[in-house]
């Protein structure tokens, strides 16, 4: 037997009992009344009164039972079924499922709203997961295809030494890109899952920034890029110098990548309002306003001119590192005029340790 019918039968049993008890009470009341007033009710009057009272109580009871059941169907049973249906769809992978708005008018409104929020979050996570897999697959496939193609070319026995060296360099470069991609994915995953805990140690940010810049000396000399440096000495910050070095290397690497021959790269470090502010500027191709809004997202590379020069993880990794150091990273850019990345970190005393 279905649950609704069981509930109706239970209601009938309950209100039959109520009607019976009420009728017995009235009969007892009439008996007391006869003894008190000395009036004798006939058996026929008593029977008639008892029956009519029982039927009246039964009718009223059933009416209220019906009204209460309808109320429960509207405010409890129907919303519960709607919520169960939505949860069942979610557990089977349909993250587009939502509890209907009509449920919000019942006692389950808050639960329904929370479930819809959960479904929306799950849908976003699923979209990110799908995009992540798609992007990773694409980024891995590209260098693998290059390695495969040039590997086949190297197998040609008639290949001269000059071409052989050239193809070997291409394979090495693609292998390095693939290794960098995998490393960045692992680093970003560990940072997002809080598996990496940065050390809290005061270090000389001025020296670290100079050291990072000098590692690109061969590049700016080879491409005749003008370097403008304004790094204030003895500025300290609290954090993990090794992790933050990934940020400086990424920002400087991007600046040199997108700056044309004979261009200019500027590096600043100043202390403003007890904050260490690093600014890396270039005179490169710049970015559109829409690109700057998404530039710190994983695998986002903006227009096609950026795609062949990176895997779209460097800035996402940089932002996550800056975030866990209680800092901020921002970008200002204009197409064909260059970009400027600004990193703000808390300033610390020279010998502070945590």
pLDDT digits (tens, 9 = 90+) for 175-207: 887 887 777 677 767 766 666 666 778 899 999
CA 150 to centroid of chain Cα atoms:
40
| Domain containing residue 226: CATH number | 3.30.565.10
Residues 302 and 319 grouped into a single domain = yes
In a domain, 114, yes or no: no
In a domain, 352, yes or no: no
Sheet holding 264-272, edge to edge: 226-231, 264-272, 275-282, 338-346, 328-334
Residues 186 and 316 grouped into a single domain = no
In a domain, 120, yes or no: no
Residues 310 and 328 grouped into a single domain = yes
Residue 304: its pLDDT value, please?
Answer: 45
In a domain, 115, yes or no: no
Tell me which residues of the chain have a pLDDT lower than 50: 1-2, 304-308
In a domain, 126, yes or no: no
- Domains in the chain, number: 3
State pTM to two decimals.
0.56
In a domain, 353, yes or no: no
In a domain, 309, yes or no: yes
Angle among Cα 209, 215, 216 to the nearest 5 degrees reads 105
Domain boundary among 75, 92, 109: 92
Residues 172 and 254 grouped into a single domain = no
Residues 205 and 179 grouped into a single domain = no
Domain boundary among 33, 63, 92: 92
Residue 9: its pLDDT value, please?
Answer: 72
Angle among Cα 11, 14, 17 to the nearest 5 degrees reads 145
Residues 220 and 336 grouped into a single domain = yes
In a domain, 145, yes or no: yes
Residues 257 and 294 grouped into a single domain = yes
Domain boundary among 174, 192, 210: 192
Task: Check: CB of residue 334 under 8 Å from CB of residue 258.
Answer: no
Residue 159: its pLDDT value, please?
Answer: 80
Domain that holds residue 158: 131-192
């Amino acid at each position: 037997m279905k649950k609704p019918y069981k509930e109706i039968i239970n209601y009938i049993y309950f209100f039959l009992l109520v009607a019976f008890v009420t009728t017995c009470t009235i009969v007892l009341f009439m008996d007391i009344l006869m003894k008190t007033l000395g009036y004798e009710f006939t058996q026929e009057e008593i029977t008639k009164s008892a029956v009519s009272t029982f039927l009246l109580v039964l009718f009223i009871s059933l009416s209220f039972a019906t009204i209460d059941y309808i109320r429960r169907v509207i405010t409890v049973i129907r919303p519960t079924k709607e919520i169960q249906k939505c949860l069942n769809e979610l557990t089977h992978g349909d993250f587009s499922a939502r509890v209907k708005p009509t449920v919000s008018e019942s006692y389950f409104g808050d639960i329904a709203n929370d479930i819809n929020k959960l479904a929306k979050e799950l849908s976003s996570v699923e979209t990110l997961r799908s995009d992540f897999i798609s992007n990773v697959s694409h980024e891995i496939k590209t260098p693998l295809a290059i390695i495969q193609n040039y590997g086949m070319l190297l197998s040609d026995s008639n290949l001269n030494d000059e071409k052989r060296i050239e193809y070997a360099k291409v394979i090495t470069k693609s292998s390095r890109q693939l290794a960098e991609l995998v490393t960045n994915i692992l680093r970003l995953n560990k940072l997002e899952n809080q598996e990496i805990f940065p050390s809290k140690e005061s270090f000389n940010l001025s020296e670290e920034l100079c050291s990072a810049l000098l590692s690109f000396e061969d590049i700016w000399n080879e491409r005749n890029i003008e370097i403008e440096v304004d790094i204030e000495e003895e500025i300290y910050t609290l954090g993990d110098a090794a992790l933050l070095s990934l940020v400086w290397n990424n920002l400087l690497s991007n600046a040199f990548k997108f700056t044309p021959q004979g261009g200019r790269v500027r590096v600043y470090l100043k202390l403003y309002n007890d904050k260490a502010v690093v600014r890396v500027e270039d005179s490169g191709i710049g970015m559109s306003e829409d690109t700057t809004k998404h530039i710190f997202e994983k695998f986002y590379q903006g227009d096609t001119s950026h795609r062949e020069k990176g895997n779209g993880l460097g800035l996402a990794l940089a932002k996550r590192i800056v975030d866990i150091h209680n800092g901020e990273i921002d970008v200002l850019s204009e197409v064909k005029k260059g970009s400027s990345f600004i990193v703000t970190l808390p300033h610390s005393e020279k010998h502070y340790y945590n």
